[in-house]
Copies of this chain bind each other. A is one copy, B any other.
Amino acid sequence: MPAPARTGRDRIVAAACDLLEESGVDGVTMQAAAQRVGVRAPSLYKHVRDRRALLEGVVDASMSALIERLDAARDDADARASVAGQLAALRRFAHERPQAYGLVFATTPGAPRPAPEALARSVRPLLDALTALHGPEHALDAARLVTAWATGFLAMELAGTLRLGGDIGAAWDWGLQRVVAAVSAATPGDPPNVL
């Protein structure tokens, strides 16, 4: 006599996503997730291998949501606007879902990393815009510089490390302008690594 499933992997992952934002990674316990979907903790193991796999599901779902936003923010007609728009979308995501952002970008101790393909897809539109801006020569280096700056800035902002004064939004805009200018100046003929 088969018992009907009272929950499923998708619902469990969704519950875990909510828990993450409400109480942080440590709040994503098997018991709490089970309670959300109206079941006891041991039942989850019928749908999810273990807690780590559950967090993997959360990471994947968060990456998908982020990729969607970045894609919606791209502007194939104006490369500069595309870069600015994507970075603004990234910052909006970090503000709206700080825990998910931190789980994906900050290197949480035992937490799973996003899949390489998902990471590649997430930077694709940025890579396109930077290639359009000044050729494929240093597009990868430029993308690394831009994303390193953006994720570093947002990590500091979310951690509250930017208390040294001044408007944070203005600091972001100032940095964004400088960073884009920096990579724009990187043309193939440049002398390499003089510093």
CB distance from A73 to the nearest CB of B (A): 14
A195/B84 in contact, CB under 8 A:
yes
Q: Is the pair B195, A175 in contact by a Cβ cutoff of 8 Å? A: no
| Closest residue of B by beta carbon distance from A103 | B109
Q: How many copies does the complex hold?
A: 2
The chain B residue sitting closest to A110, CB to CB, is B26
Contact with B along A157-183 (1 / 0, CB 8 A): 011111111100011011111111111
Closest B residue to A25 by beta carbon equals B109
A106 CA to B158 CA, complexed, in Å = 10
Q: Which has the most chain B C-beta neighbours within 10 Å: A113, A159, A192?
A: A159
Chain B residues closer than 8 Å to A159, beta-carbon distance: 107, 113
Q: Which residue of the partner chain, among B140, B141, B152, B173, contacts A148 with CB atoms under 8 Å?
A: B152
Whether A145 sits at the interface, judged by CB under 8 Å, is yes
A8–B166 Cα gap in the complex (Å)?
Answer: 42
Residue of B26, B105, B171, B177 near A195 (CB, 8 A) is B177
Q: Is A39 an interface residue (CB 8 A)?
A: no
**A31 touches B (CB below 8 Å):** no
Q: What B residues does A136 contact at CB under 8 A?
A: none
Q: Does A93 contact B (CB under 8 A)?
A: no
A156-B145 contact in complex given A108-B109, A177-B193, C-beta closer than 8 Å = no
Q: Which residue of B lies closest to A179 (CB)?
A: B182
Between-chain CB contacts (< 8 Å), 5 pairs: A26-B110, A106-B106, A141-B175, A152-B152, A174-B186
Q: Given contact pairs A141-B175, A174-B193, enumerate 9 new A-B contacts (beta carbons under 8 Å).
A: A26-B110, A106-B107, A116-B163, A138-B174, A144-B171, A148-B148, A149-B149, A149-B179, A170-B193
3 closest cross-chain pairs (CB), A and B: A152-B152, A182-B182, A148-B152
